[in-house]
Amino acid sequence: MEKKSKILITGGAGFIGSNLCEYFVNNGYSVVCLDNFATGYRHNLNSVIDAPNFELIEGDIRNLETCRLAVKDCEYVLHQAALGSVPRSINDPITTNEVNINGFLNMLVASRDENVKRFIYAASSSTYGDSQSLPKVEDIIGKPQSPYAITKYVNELYAQNFSKLYQMETIGLRYFNVFGRRQDPNGAYAAVIPKFVIQLINHESPVINGNIEYSRDFTHIDNVIAMNELAIQTKNSEALNTVFNTAFGERTTLLELVNLLKSELSQFDSKISSIETIIGPSRMGDIPHSIASIDKAKLLLGYIPKTSLKIGISKTIQWYWENLNQKIDKIVS
């Protein structure tokens, strides 16, 4: 693939999208970012906003004409735009459906009509639903447990359908609990790692919902970037028109996660090590355990995750401390 290929990144001002924008801009690609700033932030784009190979379009994927404008002359689409969060979808299923399904379909149609070379989209581990099998393997799923999970499964069905009907190349990446720099720690729907980090920095007890033995496959943003690039670059026909788990492939309990965060943060503030953890009620739609098989991605894409949870947490803690707590300038390595 030529370095000057033009890529559209939807939701490019969000946590994952802005990291993708930064990486591809810095590696010579021409990048268009489409975002309506409903959950993304302009400051997430500070590192690329003035780059000559970067263009920002403010708009909503629920508008088909906006999607057509954004995708014009693009060879690849990295579709990240969505309303995330299981609790948010339970509280407001209609908006989640409008953005995640109607918006997704708009982007597929616009990409088809523009003859985009490949449409790569953010799928979700929530698609595994109530399946009890571990590790999670791509072709064994259960019933979705939330409106959000339903929308992400419908995305996969639409992508498969467009691949067959219109010969579009599509690849879905089922993200597993992604974390890292720029992930928003604030708000009712903050992900668990940034939420725990900000609570510990403020000397508040982190709350584990459900059970301390609930487990997740926490995946650092650098591994997600690598998967997106592999999805763009692959010439393996068997890797097309399918979905891949995007994860590290290891299982960590929520209690282990809290202890790791406390250990890393206590390098700055020794009081953090003694903060107690609170066990709260289970949340509707939550899945007790999740760990991904990444064998398919290894085999067909050559994926080898390089950033472990421990390394990723260390990097993430450094970023949060420097950006959220200005009293300390540098992490102790």
Tens digits of per-residue pLDDT, 167-181? Answer: 999 999 999 999 999
> Do 226 and 83 fall into the same domain?
yes
Longest dimension (CA), the chain: 59
Are 33 and 9 in contact by the 8 Å Cβ rule? The answer is yes
Tokens of 26: 């810095």
Do residues 125 and 245 touch, judged by C-beta distance below 8 A? yes
Give the domain CATH number at 92: 3.40.50.720
Together in a domain, 129 and 161:
yes
Same-domain pairing of 173 and 185: no
**What is residue 239's DSSP assignment?**
G
Q: Are 255 and 328 in contact (CB under 8 A)?
A: no
Cα separations (Å) of 75 from 12, 80, 110, 167, 306? Answer: 17, 16, 12, 15, 28
Tell me what pLDDT residue 285 has. 65
The two tokens of residue 329 are: 């300038």
pLDDT at 3: 56
**pLDDT tens, residue by residue, 189-212:** 678 899 999 899 999 998 888 777
Same structural domain, 202 and 272: yes
Catalytic residue among 148, 158, 214, 320: 148
Q: Across-strand partners of 32? A: 8, 55
Are 14 and 132 part of one and the same domain? yes
pLDDT (0 to 100) of residue 189: 65
Task: Record the pTM.
Answer: 0.93
Please say whether the beta carbons of 55 and 72 come within 8 A: no
| Radius of gyration over every alpha carbon of the chain, rounded to an integer in angstroms | 19
Give the span between the Cα atoms of 25 and 246, in whole angstroms. 22
Q: What share of the chain in percent tops pLDDT 90?
A: 81
State the sign of the Cα–Cα–Cα–Cα dihedral 150, 302, 15, 199.
Answer: positive
Distance CA 132, CA 287 (A): 10
Mark whether 184 and 69 lie in a shared domain.
no
Instruction: Tell whether 109 and 23 lie within a shared domain.
Output: yes
148 is catalytic: yes
Could you tell me the sign of the dihedral formed by the alpha carbons of 122, 125, 130, 136, in that order? positive
Give the residue among 236, 229, 187, 169 at the shortest CA–CA distance from 85: 187
Same domain? For 110 and 73 the reply is: yes
What is the spatial distance between Cα 162 and Cα 108, in angstroms, rounded to a whole number?
8
